[in-house]
Structure 1
Amino acid sequence: MAGPDLTLRPAAFLDRDGVVNHDDGYVGTSDRIRWMPNAAKAIRRLNQAGYFVFFFTNQSGIARGYFTESELNALHDWMRAELLGQGAVIDDVRYCPHHPGGTVAGYLEDHHWRKPAPGMIHDLMARWPVRHDGSFVIGDRTSDIEAARAAGLPGFLFAGGDLDAFVAEIVKRACDNSRQNPSSR
């Protein structure tokens, strides 16, 4: 029986709301998901290019009492299954349920996982064989890009639209850079 593949690979850290699905405000159930155009195709492209693909997302709707962690985990399981049905693999998910302005006890702090802090990225990098070189973040807010910068990664600000076209350009640039600088592999 073979053990887990511990080969270092780059990772794509994707914010969820505003990147993979439309940000319709505190989305905690599958009936409210509106996928970004070509989201599955973009994730599949990253999988095929050898990237780990992770969601990392602030989910203060939990701290605010709009939905529970159990409901959010069920939503993420559903999203991963829907994407997998289209050949797109999300390797892991991190979310921060905390917000100092919330109303639910136990979640009322400015947690070190809450973007713009890099805690979720650091946790994923500690638990997966992620190669720092070549990894990147895609987000729709400056807090996503600040988290990327704090983790020492490039961040790309996505303004909506065709996610696959956006990802294709990032992957092309990464391949071009790798060819120009083969020692970075």
Structure 2
Amino acid sequence: MKLLILDRDGTLNRSRDDYVASPEEWEPLPGALEAVARLNQEGWRVVLATNQSGIGRGLFDMAALNAIHAKMNRALAAVGGRIEAVFFCPHSPEDGCHCRKPAPGLFEQIGERFGVVLSGVQAAGNAVRHVQAAASAGCQPHLLLTGKSEHLRDRVGLGADADLAALLPELPAGTRLHTDLAAFADWLLTHQERPAAAPGPQGTHA
């Protein structure tokens, strides 16, 4: 089984200055859902790891989060894509939990749920804390220049698979750069062997 772990806001859908707190505020990024569908068609199983501290802060509730993910799943299905599960941290920063990225707890939960060793598992997101959490859990981190990292596009001027370790020292060593989720999917399908289909858990944890 080949497992891919993605961030949500700013990676799959547009991020906001505050929070994506309702289905109406959830808007997919151009080409992102189609990228997931292409990966699915080649046998990749895609899950999300996302901080959702708006719950802990009382800005929206679980019903709203479930409605957002229901809209997301419908939009993915319309283009032939699927997110197998959503792992989220509902805590505020003050809670001191182990699951809020950049802590690796969400990734560890994913490894346990799917019964995989995280070493070498690909993980992509637009926030530094996502790739830090991924690397801490043993995954191969990829930074997408969308959402929180879109401002870096004018600074780096590098190719789609450039190594950022020398440019941004706060990133884990070996982090690779991609312009967006579609570019990352292109890279992954080019550089990785096609995974064999395998049985495993289904559904959404949200």
The 5 Å alignment of 1:48-127 reads 48-101=41-94, 109-127=95-113
Q: Does the Cα contact within 8 Å between 1:21 and 1:34 map onto a contact in 2?
A: yes
| Structure 1 residue 171 displacement after superposition | 2.7
**1:112 is matched by which residue type in structure 2?**
H
Q: How many residues in Structure 1 have an aligned counterpart in Structure 2?
A: 162
What is the rounded CA distance, in whole Å, between the counterparts of 2:34 and 2:120 in structure 1? 20
Q: TM-score, normalised by structure 1?
A: 0.80
What is the rounded CA distance, in whole Å, between the counterparts of 2:30 and 2:138 in structure 1? 29
* Aligned residues: CA RMSD: 2.0
Verify: 1:152 aligned to 2:138, yes or no.
yes
Q: Does the Cα contact within 8 Å between 1:45 and 1:168 map onto a contact in 2?
A: no
**2:186 is matched by which residue type in structure 1?**
A
Which one of the candidate residues 14, 38, 42 is aligned to 1:22? 14
Q: What are the ranges of 5 or more consecutive residues in structure 2 without an aligned counterpart?
A: 147-178, 196-206
Query: Which residue does the alignment assign to 2:3?
Result: 11
What is the rounded CA distance, in whole Å, between the counterparts of 1:172 and 1:56 in structure 2? 24
Verify: 1:143 aligned to 2:129, yes or no.
yes
Query: Which residue does the alignment assign to 1:164?
Result: 182
- Note the alpha carbon deviations across 1:95-151, whole angstroms, 9 max, x for none: 1010134xxxxxxx1211110111111111211244646521111111101111111
Q: Which moved more, 1:18-27 or 1:163-172?
A: 163-172
Secondary structure at 1:65 match in 2: coil
What is the rounded CA distance, in whole Å, between the counterparts of 1:166 and 1:23 in structure 2? 18
Q: Which moved more, 1:64-73 or 1:133-142?
A: 133-142
Secondary structure at 2:93 match in 1: coil
Secondary structure at 2:54 match in 1: coil
What is the rounded CA distance, in whole Å, between the counterparts of 2:140 and 2:193 in structure 1? 15
Q: TM-score, normalised by structure 2?
A: 0.72
